[in-house]
Structure 1
Amino acid sequence: MSTMGARVARMFRNFNLENRVHREISRDKPLAAPRHPEPSHPDPVPDREIINEKNAPLLNHLRSLYVESTDPTHSPQPSTPNGAVAERRALQYSVPMQQLGMSELTDVPKGKLTLAEALKALGSHQQQPQTWTVEKVAQHYSLDPRDCRALLGFFCPFRLQIIPPKDTRSKRITDS
């Protein structure tokens, strides 16, 4: 069946092929784009004497410069996007990273939290909301109160929500 289809396809493809080829050959060819005119004068090649010639005013300016360079004695502090040095605070809670093959953190920039600190702050606020208020958590971890309020309000990793079934006849997990 496939040879039959190939024959039919070849027949349609080759139909009136010779006339189509002659028509395409006799058609006027498109004109090429005009060439860019060559410049009337060639670029001057710089003379070697001009290149090797010394310029006295530039040499005098170069001799008047004096640059002192020293190695930095203190380690560079991480900076914020606006160029100011970021203040750092000691780590409150940490996860031992040596087991995972990573270096352990000792301090973090103010306004930032590690994952362990974030989970501890969320858990403390969820268990004791009267003791761990938004302001106390923000002060304890050196956070912006607005960011802390958003973190404690919208990020709830420990909340369990059971959705009731649509059908009353279906069994629930707590049912036996």
Structure 2
Amino acid sequence: MSNMGARVARMFRNFNLENRVHREISKEKPQVAPRHETGLPPSAASSEAAETAETVNRRNESLLTLLRSVYVESTDPAAAEAPKEVAADKAAERRPLRFSLPGDVYGLVELTDVPKGKLTIAEALKALSSHRRQPQTWTPHKIAQEYSLDLKDTKALLEFFIPFQIQIIPPKSENAKQIKAS
């Protein structure tokens, strides 16, 4: 049925096609918009462009001698002292690893210490599971103290980072099958 509709549409589309094409070709072409007239004759414009190019490419000896006499030496006193302090601060700001997974974790090099204010994934999971099992013992203050974290970050971690939580959404109809929570 649709094939027949396509045939009919093609017939109307191609009907009298040649006459319509000849009519379109024989129409008078639209005029081109006029160009903006310049105030200079064509020869003056090209000579001005050549003169400008010559001025740009010409060497100015007085400017070159002034440029050669300039010598700039720049040093940043803060940058010279910073690497020594950063190396000392980095050693002081690290803490030993509290918990790690056994074996080679995902092909990563085994860590021995972590920067203060940071957690490894294994430590984060351990802290979260400890807090979930014993919330009175593992309070946000104790977790922050144990892992050298900021209290605000610890509270945010416990509130928003919820690993392995399964939620079963009830079906809209009563006769639909449902997985029973164990």
Give the structure 2 partner of residue 89 of structure 1: 94
In the TM superposition, residue 154 of structure 1 has moved relative to its aligned partner by 4.0
Q: Distance in 2 between matches of 1:144 and 1:115?
A: 17
In the TM superposition, residue 133 of structure 1 has moved relative to its aligned partner by 1.1
Q: Larger % of helix: which?
A: 2
Amino acid at match of 1:58: L
Q: Distance in 1 between matches of 2:15 and 2:25?
A: 17
In the TM superposition, residue 3 of structure 1 has moved relative to its aligned partner by 9.1
Q: Is structure 2 residue 35 aligned with structure 1 residue 30?
A: no
TM-score by length of 2: 0.60
Give the structure 1 partner of residue 131 of structure 2: 125
Q: Is structure 2 residue 51 aligned with structure 1 residue 46?
A: no
Q: Distance in 1 between matches of 2:3 and 2:130?
A: 77
In the TM superposition, residue 117 of structure 1 has moved relative to its aligned partner by 0.7
SS in structure 2 at match of 1:94: coil
Distance 1:33 1:109, change over 3 A: farther
**Number of positions where the alignment pairs a residue of Structure 1 with one of Structure 2:** 162
TM-score by length of 1: 0.61
For structure 2, which runs of at least 5 residues remain unmatched after alignment? none
**Residues 3-33 of structure 1: CA deviation (Å, up to 9, x unaligned):** 9777655532331223312321133323445
SS in structure 1 at match of 2:118: coil
Q: Distance in 2 between matches of 1:30 and 1:150?
A: 70
Give the structure 2 partner of residue 104 of structure 1: 110
Match of 1:135 among 117, 128, 141: 141
Q: Distance in 1 between matches of 2:20 and 2:39?
A: 45
Give the structure 1 partner of residue 66 of structure 2: 57
Percent identity for Structure 1 against Structure 2: 53
Name the stretch that deviates more: 17-26 or 156-165. 156-165
Root-mean-square deviation (CA), in Å?
4.6
Match of 2:151 among 145, 152, 155: 145
Q: Is structure 2 residue 23 aligned with structure 1 residue 15?
A: no
Give the structure 2 partner of residue 81 of structure 1: none
In the TM superposition, residue 66 of structure 1 has moved relative to its aligned partner by 3.9
Q: Distance in 1 between matches of 2:112 and 2:164?
A: 27
Q: Distance in 2 between matches of 1:133 and 1:6?
A: 73
SS in structure 1 at match of 2:94: strand
Distance 1:92 1:38, change over 3 A: farther
SS in structure 1 at match of 2:53: coil
In the TM superposition, residue 45 of structure 1 has moved relative to its aligned partner by 1.9
Distance 1:156 1:29, change over 3 A: same
In the TM superposition, residue 135 of structure 1 has moved relative to its aligned partner by 0.6
Amino acid at match of 1:61: V
Contact 1:125 1:132 in 2 (8 A): yes
Contact 1:88 1:107 in 2 (8 A): no
